């Protein structure tokens, strides 16, 4: 049994009277791809934002590789080795694809040329079309943006990668391509992943283990096939059966 790389303990985040995350606890094991699913408003993105330091949790602790990282600012958390992508892509529109990825690589080096070479390598690794690496951020497609977001995050050399609805808005064949890339990153770069996702086919096929959230709480945890047949999960997604 692998060591947990991330431990979330009794996490609570409130916005005014709304409890977005209500006493969530889970662990992520080193090397795995873990799915984090739940209906809209379940608190998945808020959980992500607490882990990456964008929000300070109201209660609970977060441990990364045995170290308490609760409340650290985002840039320090990135430095420790947690990277993320965004539900709505956040491109650097006036920079080229290569430059945007190099910004990520500059976290581990101060040499711009080195960062550029590393960015090129990573873009190649994830199969980004070579003819587009000098295109400006404002001139590329959504799929390209997702790939650049991903490359940028990997370039910071994370140990843990949080993917926030990375498949949203993609066509089925693009999703398959993305899933292959993610598996490759996981196995070859040895990066542990948490995948927040709405697209069931995508997350079920990708994850080894899934945590289900509903209204800020964890309602289930298990292997994909267990989750698919869990009555609580079905109820959360489809609502209670009319009597």
Partner 1 sequence: MGLGTRRNLIVLAIIVAVLAIIPFALGFNQYYILLAATSLIFAVFVIAWNIIGGYAGQLDLAPMAYIGVGGIVTAELLKYYGITPWVGMFIGAGASMALAAAVGYPTFRFGIKEVWYALLTASLVVILNNITHLPQVLGSFDHYLPAKTGWYYLIFYRYQNIYYVILGLFVATVLINLLISNSKTGYYLRAIREDELAAEALGIDVRKYKLKALLTYAGILGFTGYLYIVLQGTYSYQTFNSPTSLSIAIMGIVGGLGSIAGAFTSAMFLKTVEEYLRGTIGATIPGLYLLIYGILLIIVGIFKPEGIAALFNWVKKKVGFENRGM
Ramachandran category for residue 193: left, alpha or beta (phi over 0 → left; psi -120 to 50 → alpha): beta
Bridge partners (DSSP) listed for residue 64:
6, 67
Bridge partners (DSSP) listed for residue 221:
211
From 13, 44, 84, 214, residue interacting with partner 1 (rule: CB under 8 A): 84
Q: Which residue, 103 or 168, is less far from partner 1 as judged by CB?
A: 103
Q: Are strands 160-164 and 18-29 parallel, antiparallel or unpaired?
A: unpaired
Pattern 14-33, binding to partner 1, x per CB under 8 A?
Answer: --------------------
Tokens of 24: 């969530």
112 in contact with partner 1 (CB under 8 A): yes
From 99, 144, 165, 197, residue interacting with partner 1 (rule: CB under 8 A): 99
From 8, 62, 72, 78, residue interacting with partner 1 (rule: CB under 8 A): 78
Task: Give the binding range for partner 1 (CB under 8 A) out of 27-35, 36-44, 72-80, 195-203.
Answer: 72-80
From 10, 56, 111, 187, residue interacting with partner 1 (rule: CB under 8 A): 111
Q: Which of residues 195-234 bind partner 1 (CB under 8 A)?
A: none
Task: Give the binding range for partner 1 (CB under 8 A) out of 26-34, 100-108, 124-132, 177-185.
Answer: 100-108
Instruction: List CB contacts of 55: < 8 A, sequence separation 6 or more.
Output: 13, 46, 49
Could you give the maximum distance between any two Cα atoms of the chain, in Å? 66
| E strands in the chain | 4-15, 18-29, 33-37, 59-64, 67-68, 82-84, 160-164, 192-196, 209-214, 217-222
CA–CA distances in Å: residue 156 to residues 56, 102, 120: 22, 9, 14
Q: Which of residues 140-179 bind partner 1 (CB under 8 A)?
A: 152-153, 156
Task: Give the binding range for partner 1 (CB under 8 A) out of 6-14, 38-46, 111-119, 177-185.
Answer: 111-119
**What letter would DSSP give residue 139?**
G
> Which spans of this chain sit near partner 1 (rule: CB under 8 A)?
52, 54, 73-75, 78-79, 83-84, 86, 90-95, 99-100, 102-104, 106-107, 110-113, 115, 137, 152-153, 156
């Amino acid at each position: 049994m692998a060591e947990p790389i991330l431990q979330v303990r009794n996490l609570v985040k409130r916005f005014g009277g709304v409890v977005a995350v209500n006493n969530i606890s889970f662990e992520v094991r080193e090397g795995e791809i873990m799915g984090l699913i739940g209906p809209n408003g379940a608190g998945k993105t808020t959980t992500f934002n607490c882990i990456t330091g964008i929000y300070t949790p109201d209660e609970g602790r977060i441990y990364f590789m045995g170290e308490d990282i609760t409340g650290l600012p985002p840039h320090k958390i990135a430095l420790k080795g947690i990277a993320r992508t965004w539900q709505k892509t956040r491109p650097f529109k006036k920079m080229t694809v290569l430059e945007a990825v190099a910004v990520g690589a500059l976290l581990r080096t101060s040499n711009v040329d080195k960062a550029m070479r590393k960015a090129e390598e990573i873009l190649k690794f994830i199969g980004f079309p070579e003819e587009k690496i000098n295109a400006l951020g404002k001139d590329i497609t959504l799929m390209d943006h997702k790939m650049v977001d991903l490359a940028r995050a990997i370039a910071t050399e994370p140990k843990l990668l949080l993917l926030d609805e990375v498949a949203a808005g993609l066509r089925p064949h693009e999703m398959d391509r993305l899933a292959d890339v993610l598996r490759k990153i996981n196995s070859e770069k040895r990066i542990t992943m948490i995948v927040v996702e709405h697209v069931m086919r995508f997350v079920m096929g990708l994850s080894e283990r899934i945590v289900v959230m509903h209204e800020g709480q964890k309602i289930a945890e298990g292997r994909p096939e267990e989750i698919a047949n869990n009555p609580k999960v079905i109820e959360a997604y489809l609502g209670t059966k009319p009597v």
